[in-house]
Chain A
Amino acid sequence: MTSGGSTFWTSGSVPLIEPEFLSSIIGAASDIALVLAASGTILSVVLNQSDDTFGNLRHWEGRPVTDFLTSESVVKFEEAHSAYLSGIEQTKPLELNHRDNAAWQYPVRYTFHRFGQEDAVLLLGRDLRPIAETQQQLVQAQIALEQGYEARREFDARFRVMLANVEDAVVFVSTQSGRIEDVNETAATLLGMRSDALIGATFAKLFSERAASELTESLLNATLSDDAQPVGVRVSRTRRDIEIKPVVFRAGGQRILMCRLYVDRKGGVSPDGTATSAASLFKATSDAVVFMDPKGAILSVNDAMLDLVGGAHLSDVVGKSLSDYLARGQIDLGVLLDNAERAGQMRSYATKMVNALGAKSAVEMSAVRLEDEGNVSVGLIVRDVNRMEPVRAIPASQGAQTLADPSRSVMDLVGSASLKEIVAETTDVVEKMCIETAVQLTRNNRVAAAEMLGLSRQSLYVKLRKYGLLHKGG
């Protein structure tokens, strides 16, 4: 277009260019120019005379341009050339990649121009090699980055394996935020939470009566001298006293504390070795043992309990309410806690426990209230009834001398009344016993008792009236 806005040069303003000058002007106006016949054969190649980086392309002349294009550019060129031949105006520049005997490749941006000869085309090209070089640098930088990610992934794998397999309980804490950056399973178990839940949590909040800034300060002070004592804390969830041995280091511009946690064994050793034996019993017994806080949140369990509820790790269970594993949930828990609180212990309570997969197992449990230096907790021993029944069946068949012989009682009954009457009477006795027990266990909470017995409140009232229990206190 001219400066006047016209696409035509007015008469007289057209520079009359002699043929011997035309090629150099075209070469200078573009970087490379190709004149193509309608067949796609290169009639002539014009290069910018001030740039010899293209080398000698004289051998291109007389050969199809597609011989000097990469495969994807051949398709692209053929489509654009066909459109040009059918008279469609090419408005978008065409980027093509040239190749020459596979020795080198370079991109050129071409525009199509008619110049008066029918179906022949003048392609004016801009050399894109400077951009391609920048592109190459970008790609190389990205490859270096990707290689770096690969190396980091490998390093990360080593770190994870080490953290998972060391016996030490390790926690990484940011001094700036006081939050946990990383933690291993051993530490998570000691802290009574899952490791994924711990990441991002404020470290100090895991301990009783420790402010974040004060704890961080204590830990930093403990790193300053070689003979500094470990920092003692009590874990809120498990009520265990532990010691923290910190090491401070800098990473990524921030100070990080690597804290190794140790169980404080000072208070746990008794002169007669009872504590050691108790710990061994807790670990090895086939009965499930649970310690929970006065609200029913689990503080610690043994392996037998983990088996019973289908937990893989201690951290799966610790911190949860025991009611999550009881078939009657809060009602069962209420009975256990109330009785432990009121009488100090509950000798026997039968219910069902639900494992992680929803399967129920009948259990018997006893509860006891524990108090240690002002810390109140409740201990439970849980016995899987299904495992006990075969054991109980043996003395029942062998030891008639110690237990009342049930067959003898039946002999006394049969003949005294009709079968229907005996069954009805038996049902009434069983019903009354169960209702009395439920009322007693729930301390006369009729709603909870009805729930425990699987009855509606109305049905419970009818039965209470029937058995004369309506006005009896729990």
Chain B
Amino acid sequence: MTRDDTNGMERHDPFARSDVDGLASQVISVLRDRQGPGTTGTRQFILDYLVRVIIDPRQFDAMLVLDQLRGYRLTTDAIIDLYVPEAAQRLGEDWMRSDIDFATVTIGALRLQNLLSEAAAEIPQLPIYDATRLSALIIVPDGEQHFLGASVAGAQLRRLGCDVKISFCETQDMLQDRLSYDAPDMVLFSCARLAALETITKTVKSLRSSVEPVPVLALGGPLSGKADGIREKTGVDLVTNTVKEVVAVCTKRCKALDGS
């Protein structure tokens, strides 16, 4: 809107009504397009963006994507806990619908791994020589190809103040050495395939007979919610996809051991 001044000259009003209305409409439109969080707590348009960039055949820059996600006011916690696992699940669903091929799924998962590493690098390190910290060993069983979940769990445990080590596809002997040397408070198995259950069962059996005190043994991963009787079959203490649950059990166990 313009108006005449006393000298008869037209001048532009910086707060002209139509400009303000235009800006307000634009803002409302942007807000409307930014849908609210879904059932998992993620916002759909951000998740769509993330899936789009990880399967984009062109170059992928994890730091740029991370900056973009931060631009959507996402915290490191939200990226690690919500968006990376959700995007990985979307890759699986897209493959099931034949929308993408398995090579694209692999590339996408590796890019998510890259993004996760960059995001997790920003988690502040707690005093490393604190003896009261719980120590965790995450095992990706030999032959297992899916390790994004293990990395997510590792980042979540580190945020909870645990000292975390991840064993990637180590043989039974290497694992045995590691377990007797490191003596972790908890061992978390990451399991995506039924075939890995046999290896896990062997490791659990060997652990229970050779390590004292036996750490809390937990199993998580895509398989944990699907197959029945996994706990009994493998001999782990609990089957869960929530690391907080494992830490709670472990804290309780440590207190009981300290008291005895």
Contact = CB atoms under 8 A, between A and B. Distances in A.
Interface of A: 71-72, 75-76, 80, 92-95, 102, 107, 109, 128, 131-132, 134-136, 138-139, 142-143, 146-147, 149-150, 154, 157, 160-161, 164-165
B103 A146 contact: no
B150 to A, nearest CB: 9
Interface in B83-137: 95-96, 98-99, 101-103, 106-107, 110, 113, 117, 125, 128-129
Nearest to B140: A143
Nearest to B223: A71
Contact of B168 (A135, A143, A164, A165): A143
Contact of B96 (A75, A149, A150, A165): A75
A135 B98 contact: no
B147 interface: yes
Nearest to A92: B98
Contact of A142 (B110, B166, B194): B110
A146 B99 contact: no
B195 interface: yes
Given A71-B194, A135-B103, A142-B110, A95 B95 contact: yes
A150 B98 CA distance: 35
B46 interface: no
A161 B168 contact: no
A142 B145 CA distance: 10
B82 interface: no
A138 B168 CA distance: 15
B195 A102 contact: yes
B224 interface: no
A138 B98 contact: no
A324 to B, nearest CB: 25
A59 B23 CA distance: 70
Contacts of A102: 195
Contacts of A147: 168
Contacts of B253: none
A139 B106 contact: yes
18 contacts: A71-B194, A92-B98, A95-B98, A95-B102, A102-B195, A128-B102, A131-B102, A131-B103, A135-B106, A138-B110, A142-B113, A146-B151, A150-B165, A150-B166, A160-B125, A161-B128, A161-B129, A165-B129
Nearest to A94: B98
Nearest to B166: A150
Nearest to A154: B165
A136 B145 CA distance: 8
Given A146-B168, A149-B117, A72 B96 contact: yes
Nearest to B117: A149
Contacts of B128: 157, 160-161
Contact of A143 (B96, B102, B129, B169): B169
A105 B74 CA distance: 40
A58 B101 CA distance: 28
A146 B166 contact: yes
Contacts of B95: 95
Q: Which 7 A-B pairs have the closest CB atoms?
A: A92-B98, A157-B128, A135-B106, A143-B168, A161-B129, A147-B168, A139-B145
A132 B102 CA distance: 8
B129 A138 contact: no
Nearest to B167: A150
Interface string B24-46: 00000000000000000000000
Most buried by B among A93, A102, A134, A150: A150
Interface string B146-169: 010001000000000000011011
Given A134-B103, A142-B110, A143-B169, 9 more contacts: A75-B96, A95-B102, A131-B103, A135-B106, A136-B145, A142-B147, A146-B151, A150-B165, A160-B128
Contacts of A75: 96
A123 to B, nearest CB: 14
Contacts of A164: 129
A107 B105 CA distance: 13
A88 to B, nearest CB: 13
A136 B110 CA distance: 12
Contacts of A150: 165-166, 168
